Amino acid sequence: MGSDAKDKGPRVFISYSHDSPEHTDRVLGLADKLRAEGGRLRTERK
């Protein structure tokens, strides 16, 4: 692993059920927190 890999946060893909707006909000809030800590995230947002 080169030094570039250490500078980039972990890559995360979040898959979740779209069963309610509240659940979606919680998942997206978690994604925001993880991004703020340096994570590189993708969600299956539609």
Q: What is the pLDDT of residue 21?
A: 94
CA angle, 34 then 37 then 43, to 5°: 25
Report pLDDT for 3. 47
Angle CA 10–11–12, to nearest 5: 115
pLDDT at position 36: 95
- Tokens describing residue 39: 């994570």
Supply the pLDDT for residue 20: 94
Nearest to 41 by CA among 5, 10, 6: 10
Q: Per residue, what are the HEC states of 23-39?
A: HHHHHHHHHHHHHHCCC
pLDDT in tens for each of the 46 residues of the chain? Answer: 444 555 678 999 999 988 999 999 999 999 999 999 999 998 886 5
Question: pTM value?
Answer: 0.70
Per-residue confidence (pLDDT) for residue 27, from 0 to 100: 93
